[in-house]
């Protein structure tokens, strides 16, 4: 249910979900409220007055009963349960200083357009169950058991080609299954990879099991493995689960995992760990809906090239060494059990093909999900992580590249950086005159670090308030206790020690800013290089699609302000979510969409960036907030001081 919230005195109105936290609502709407503790309820700074509507706030020690009776609340302890009119008292908005400039707009990329992106699909999975009643053999009709089975399949489906089979274990069990089931069995058929290929019998089960047809879609991420269990009879998601990839104990990123794999037994250990993670997830989803892992009839997975190699137990060393060649791009359709994945011995695991060492199956799956290969107009597809992957193209052509953005967006290389987790600062505003912060943390817990979206907010806000300049250097002329010279040079104190969970001042330093500028510079240089390669500019783009979990939290305006995303019409931006998982999910449900992946692979051409002189030139030009060429960022130019 939607609720309206109006903030006074600036008259900013927003529509939000019922139950949303008021401090988060204000932060997302660009309404400044002093908030020092991230929403933990302890600093008592975020007092607002409810002028209309009901709330579900909790009375805290930071607010006395009289104030409560007069309508005062702590924004961070208030949830929106009706339409509200909220007044921000002067002392809370600006410590008595009126805001001289217009309120800012911040905007997350909404999922409004998900359907436009991924389109419709049918419930016609690549695996099918058919219940078959056979007539028992007689002296007159004593063809082999398999022949009898295939003959009946043909009789029941005239349009079908005679199916094949390739699994010797199937033959070992077949005579007994048929007889024990009194010749009434369910056949599991796998559709041919192409239209012209016949179906394949992968299992024969006693009795009628057609009501149990399940598939598992898996995204094998370097950090997290996510999966959804689908009922393939109706296409519905019936359970979801995710877990940290157990390989994390062998290294945080793909490079350190490849290094680890060179140890004796390393490849085997990494394979065991990723399989163990997948098995844990299978156990979790199956428990949720009370089915057995052996009820899953197909597993469709996607991961980056290194994860794909590691799942198959392949040596990934050449991925890391120039000229960066993977062992293979297409992985054979495999029986999941051969990889030790907990599944029925006949169940196949399909792994999305990759394009190059750093543009893997996860990107192909995302591009496939959002149907770039069907678009007439040119789109830019971006997946931001340690490696930023970029694809530009349409139904006629696609070029792709990976840019080594570094781990800044995942908290790496930032003094107080952390992954998306409880207590991470995810949203930040600064009052342009008092320079006081408004901090919102994940779960409204005491602040303990900064995650990627928080980092983007902090840098954009410091820039717009003139606390840092476009080189990412602090304004040396500012006389403010929060801007000071620390052990690593100039820094801004985001949270004082007494308010942080870690018991020390939580700061952002010039070194952190440098790392962020390099990360966003690599991404922007990647867009520019690919566009230049095909003789295009940003103006030729019809859509910019953000994939990956990070995209969910990105504030569009701020990401543009720092030059991470191009300064284009905001309506061109779309958010896909976990494209890797989504592609696998769609393929698992609709075999015609599944077959289209072949079109995607055919269209994609990888451009190597690592030693590309064009990329280096663009990279150098991008090491500025937002860019050295401000004609590329007209809306940001308007916002910058001076």
What are the CA-CA distances from residue 230 to residues 1, 234, 238, 567, 580 (Å)?
A: 27, 8, 6, 39, 16
Minimum gap (Å) between residue 266 Cβ and ligand FES: 47
Minimum gap (Å) between residue 436 Cβ and ligand FES: 12
* Per-residue binding letters, 364-383, with ligand FES (x by CB under 6 A): --------------------
Nearer to ligand FES, 460 or 495 (CB): 495
Nearer to ligand FES, 42 or 533 (CB): 42
Minimum gap (Å) between residue 57 Cβ and ligand FES: 11
Minimum gap (Å) between residue 411 Cβ and ligand FES: 22
Nearer to ligand FES, 43 or 267 (CB): 43
Is 44 a binder of ligand FES (CB under 6 A)?
yes
Alpha carbon 251 to chain centroid, angstroms = 20
Q: Which stretch binds ligand FES (CB under 6 A): 44-52, 174-182, 356-364, 483-491?
A: 44-52
Nearer to ligand FES, 41 or 385 (CB): 41
Q: Which stretch binds ligand FES (CB under 6 A): 43-51, 486-494, 549-557, 583-591?
A: 43-51
Is 187 a binder of ligand FES (CB under 6 A)?
no
Of residues 326-345, those binding ligand FES (CB under 6 A): none
Residue 584 structure tokens:
């696998």
Q: How far is 397 from 362, CA to CA, in rounded Å?
A: 19
Is 494 a binder of ligand FES (CB under 6 A)?
no
Q: How far is 4 from 86, CA to CA, in rounded Å?
A: 11
Is 7 a binder of ligand FES (CB under 6 A)?
no
Is 84 a binder of ligand FES (CB under 6 A)?
no
Nearer to ligand FES, 92 or 601 (CB): 92
Nearer to ligand FES, 78 or 387 (CB): 78
Residue 489 structure tokens:
């040079």
Burial class of residue 640 in the structure, from the number of CB atoms within 10 Å of its CB (0-12 exposed, 13-18 middle, 19+ buried): middle
Residue 452 structure tokens:
């990627």
Nearer to ligand FES, 23 or 501 (CB): 23
| Overall size of the chain counted in residues | 642
Minimum gap (Å) between residue 407 Cβ and ligand FES: 29
Of residues 381-420, those binding ligand FES (CB under 6 A): none
Is 35 a binder of ligand FES (CB under 6 A)?
yes
Minimum gap (Å) between residue 496 Cβ and ligand FES: 12
Is 41 a binder of ligand FES (CB under 6 A)?
yes
Identify the three-state secondary structure at position 295: helix
Is 127 a binder of ligand FES (CB under 6 A)?
no
Q: Which stretch binds ligand FES (CB under 6 A): 42-50, 472-480, 487-495, 508-516?
A: 42-50
Nearer to ligand FES, 62 or 209 (CB): 62
Assess contact for 579 and 416: CB atoms under 8 A.
no
**CB environment 228-244: b (16+ within 10 A), e (fewer):** bbbbbeebeeebebbee
Alpha carbon 103 to chain centroid, angstroms = 30
Is 354 a binder of ligand FES (CB under 6 A)?
no
135: how many CB neighbours lie within 10 A of its CB? 9
Q: How far is 132 from 136, CA to CA, in rounded Å?
A: 12
Q: Which stretch binds ligand FES (CB under 6 A): 36-44, 217-225, 335-343, 579-587?
A: 36-44
Alpha carbon 446 to chain centroid, angstroms = 25
Q: According to CB under 6 A, which one of 30, 39, 437, 583 is a site residue for ligand FES?
A: 39
Helix ranges (DSSP H) in 9-113:
22-29, 65-69, 90-94
Q: According to CB under 6 A, which one of 45, 73, 129, 130 is a site residue for ligand FES?
A: 45
What are the CA-CA distances from residue 143 to residues 202, 216, 392 (Å)?
A: 21, 37, 56
Is 43 a binder of ligand FES (CB under 6 A)?
yes
Identify the three-state secondary structure at position 210: coil
| Residues contacting 53, CB < 8 A, separation 6+ | 82, 83, 84, 85
Nearer to ligand FES, 36 or 214 (CB): 36
* Per-residue binding letters, 8-27, with ligand FES (x by CB under 6 A): ---------------x----
Assess contact for 535 and 442: CB atoms under 8 A.
no
What are the CA-CA distances from residue 13 to residues 4, 28, 223, 269, 627 (Å)?
A: 7, 11, 38, 54, 33
Burial class of residue 616 in the structure, from the number of CB atoms within 10 Å of its CB (0-12 exposed, 13-18 middle, 19+ buried): middle
Of residues 56-75, those binding ligand FES (CB under 6 A): 62, 74
Is 37 a binder of ligand FES (CB under 6 A)?
yes
Site of interaction with ligand FES (CB under 6 A): 23, 35-37, 39-46, 62, 74, 76
């Amino acid at each position: 249910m939607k609720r309206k919230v109006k903030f006074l005195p600036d008259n900013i109105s927003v529509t939000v979900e019922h139950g949303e936290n008021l401090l988060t609502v204000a932060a997302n709407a660009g309404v400044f409220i002093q908030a020092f503790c991230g929403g933990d309820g302890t600093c008592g700074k975020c007092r607002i007055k409810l002028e209309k509507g009901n709330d579900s706030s909790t009375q805290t020690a930071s607010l006395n009963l009289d104030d409560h009776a007069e309508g005062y609340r702590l924004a961070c302890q208030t949830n929106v349960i009706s339409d509200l009119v909220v007044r921000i008292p002067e002392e809370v908005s600006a410590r008595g200083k009126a805001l001289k400039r217009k309120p800012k707009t911040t905007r997350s990329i909404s999922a409004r357009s998900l359907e436009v992106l991924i389109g419709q699909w049918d419930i016609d999975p690549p695996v099918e169950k058919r219940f078959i009643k056979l007539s028992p053999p007689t002296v007159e009709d004593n063809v082999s058991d398999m022949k009898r089975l295939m003959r009946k399949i043909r009789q029941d489906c005239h349009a079908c080609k005679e199916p094949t089979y390739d699994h010797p274990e199937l033959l070992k069990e077949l005579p007994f299954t048929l007889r024990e089931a009194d010749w009434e069995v369910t056949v599991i058929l796998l559709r041919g990879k192409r239209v012209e290929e016949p179906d394949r019998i992968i299992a024969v089960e006693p009795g009628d099991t057609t009501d149990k047809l399940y598939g598992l879609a898996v995204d094998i991420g370097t950090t997290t493995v996510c999966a959804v269990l689908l009922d393939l009879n109706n296409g519905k998601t019936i359970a979801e689960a995710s877990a940290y990839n157990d390989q994390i104990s062998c290294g945080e990123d793909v490079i350190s995992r490849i290094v680890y794999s060179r140890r004796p037994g390393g490849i085997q250990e990494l394979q065991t760990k990723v399989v163990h993670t997948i098995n844990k997830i299978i156990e979790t989803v199956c428990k949720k809906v009370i089915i057995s892992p052996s009820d899953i009839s197909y597993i469709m997975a996607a991961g980056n090239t290194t994860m794909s190699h590691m799942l198959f137990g392949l040596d990934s060393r050449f991925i890391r060494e120039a000229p960066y060649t993977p062992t293979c791009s297409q992985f054979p359709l495999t029986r999941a059990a051969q990889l030790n994945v907990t599944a029925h011995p006949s169940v196949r695991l399909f792994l999305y093909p990759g394009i190059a060492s750093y543009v893997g199956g996860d990107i192909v799956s995302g591009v496939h999900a959002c149907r770039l290969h069907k678009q007439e107009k040119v789109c830019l597809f971006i997946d931001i992580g340690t490696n930023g992957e970029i694809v530009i193209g349409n139904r006629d052509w696609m070029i792709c590249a990976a840019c080594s953005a570094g781990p800044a967006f995942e908290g790496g290389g930032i003094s107080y950086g952390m992954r998306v987790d409880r207590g991470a600062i995810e949203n930040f505003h600064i009052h342009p005159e008092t320079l006081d912060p408004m901090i919102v943390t994940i779960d409204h817990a005491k602040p303990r670090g900064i995650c990627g979206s928080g980092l983007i907010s902090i840098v954009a806000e410091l820039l717009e308030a003139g606390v840092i300049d476009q080189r990412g250097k602090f304004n040396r002329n500012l006389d403010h206790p929060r801007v000071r010279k620390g052990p690593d040079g100039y820094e801004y104190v985001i949270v004082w020690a007494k308010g942080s969970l870690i018991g020390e001042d939580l700061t952002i330093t010039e070194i952190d800013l440098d790392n962020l500028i390099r990360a966003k510079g690599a991404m922007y240089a990647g867009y520019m290089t690919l566009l230049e390669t095909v003789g295009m500019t940003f103006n030729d783009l019809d859509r910019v699609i953000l994939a990956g979990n990070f995209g969910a939290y990105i504030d569009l305006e701020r990401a543009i302000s720092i030059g991470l995303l191009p300064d284009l019409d905001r309506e061109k931006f779309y958010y896909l979510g976990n494209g890797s998982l989504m592609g696998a999910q769609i393929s698992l449900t609709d075999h015609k969409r599944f077959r289209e992946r072949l079109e995607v692979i055919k269209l994609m051409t990888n451009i190597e960036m690592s030693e590309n002189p064009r990329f280096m030139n663009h990279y150098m030009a991008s090491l500025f907030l937002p860019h050295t060429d401000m004609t590329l960022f007209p809306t940001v130019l308007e916002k910058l001081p001076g």
